[in-house]
Amino acid sequence: MKELVYLDTSFLHSFIAQMKSGLPTSTNLEMHEQETKTNSTTTGADRNHEISTEGSLGQLDIGFMKTPSLKGTYKFGQKRTQTSGFTLSQLEAGKEIISKQLHDNALQEFESYLHESDLLLTSIDPNLEIDPGTYVQIKASFSIIDLGYFKDMVNGDFVDLVVDMSEISSVIQQEIEILEQQNLPSKQFKERKKQLLQSFESALENQRQEFGKMVRLLEFASKALPTEAMMRVENFVVPLKSTFLREKTQELIFKYGMGKQELEIVLLGKITRKYEGLFTDHFKANGVMKGLAEFFEAIEGMWTGLEILEEGNYIVSPIAIYFE
């Protein structure tokens, strides 16, 4: 069983697509139905009463008196209304989901393909050159280096803390104690102590500047590499893309450390070239560019010191890294 640390799924997608005339797909048809019913009833009533009267002295005249006359009108109206409604709406939607799937055994298929095609180099002779484009499978001890991890730690606060905890502080304190034991006159004691403290501050400032240069150099050394996280497997240098890592490099460093491990890991990848340095000799020949040559040499010195990359290493484009 493989415990994968790194897997370049994009590469394996490409391999499977070429071998299978396209990526395997699965198609699922999802149906969605919705039914809505609405009932509504509205009832209303309207009643109307209307009375009107009209009076006069009448039509009969008998001398001194007229008979009265009265005419009246009465109207009554009633109106009822009722409205009923029913609405039925149905919705049917179909959604097709097509998902690309990578075979679970894609890595195994690729390894089998390399073995059957006799394209995989598994036995490495350190005295023989390896041609670029060669697929290799190496099982050996390893180390992980993450310059981003270093950069996060080595900041301004870290520099100040290291300087404050340096031996200079204890040396100056010892000098002051010796000075106090000499029973010098007050004025002379103060002058000597002032000189010691000035010397102390000057030494601390020099250390801050040196650490500051180291931090800036670390920044440039990181930018000169394709990725901040790198792995060394014997003489092979492997840039690690965070996209294909199964765990964060901080987790890997915590679990396995940054030094060389006795635990062995399997590296499957393709040789891209043999590292032959940054060609600083060209800059050294030009007096104006001599400073640039020294700068590149400082970067290479940092790479070598951190055991990231040195002349003679093979650069490997990783496909899979795993424990067995």
Q: What is the pLDDT of residues 92-134, one digit of tens each?
A: 444 444 334 455 578 888 999 999 999 999 988 878 899 999 9
Q: Can you tell me the distance from the alpha carbon of 245 to that of 243, in angstroms, rounded to the nearest whole number?
A: 6
- Residue 96's nearest CA partner among 35, 26, 21, 33 is 26
Q: For residue 279, what pLDDT band results from cuts at 50, 70 and 90? A: low
pLDDT of residue 320: 94
In a domain, residue 210? The reply is yes
Q: For residue 273, what pLDDT band results from cuts at 50, 70 and 90? A: very high
pLDDT over 50 at 176, yes or no? yes
Q: What is the pLDDT of residues 150-168, one digit of tens each?
A: 777 776 666 667 666 666 6
Q: Can you tell me the distance from the alpha carbon of 219 to that of 213, in angstroms, rounded to the nearest whole number?
A: 10
Contact 208, 159 (CB under 8 A): yes
Q: What's the mean per-residue pLDDT of the chain?
A: 75
In a domain, residue 269? The reply is yes
DSSP calls for 196-238 = HHHHHHHHHHHHHHHHHHHHHHHHHHHHTSS-SEEEEETTEEE
pLDDT over 90 at 318, yes or no? yes
Q: What is the pLDDT of residues 284-295, one digit of tens each?
A: 666 666 777 777
pLDDT of residue 282: 60
Per-residue pLDDT, averaged over 81-89, amounts to 52
pLDDT of residue 35: 53
In a domain, residue 49? The reply is no
pLDDT of residue 265: 92
Per-residue pLDDT, averaged over 308-312, amounts to 87
In a domain, residue 21? The reply is no
Angle, helices 167-180/186-223, rounded to nearest 10 degrees = 180
Instruction: Determine the 3-state secondary structure of 297 from DSSP.
Output: helix
Higher pLDDT, 299 or 242: 242
In a domain, residue 201? The reply is yes
Asked which of 206-210, 226-230, 261-265 is least confident by mean pLDDT, the reply is 206-210
Rounded to the nearest angstrom, the gap between the alpha carbon of residue 48 and the centroid of all alpha carbons in its chain is 78
* Residue type present at position 294: E
- Token pair 């060394």 is found at 232
Angle, helices 186-223/156-164, rounded to nearest 10 degrees = 140
Contact 15, 25 (CB under 8 A): no
Enclosing domain of residue 263: 117-323
Q: Which helix or strand (DSSP H or E) is residue 48 part of?
A: strand 25-56
In a domain, residue 98? The reply is no
In a domain, residue 74? The reply is no
Contact 71, 128 (CB under 8 A): no
* Residue type present at position 50: E
pLDDT over 60 at 69, yes or no? no
The total number of structural domains that make up the chain: 1
DSSP calls for 71-137 = EEEEEEEEEEEEEEEEEEEEEEEEEEEEEE---TTHHHHHHHHHHHTT-EE-S--TTS---TT-EEE
Contact 73, 55 (CB under 8 A): no
Higher pLDDT, 11 or 296: 11
Q: Can you tell me the distance from the alpha carbon of 51 to that of 76, in angstroms, rounded to the nearest whole number?
A: 9
- Token pair 């001398």 is found at 63
- Residue 130's nearest CA partner among 273, 317, 299 is 273
Per-residue pLDDT, averaged over 54-76, amounts to 49
Q: What is the pLDDT of residues 22-34, one digit of tens each?
A: 666 554 545 555 5
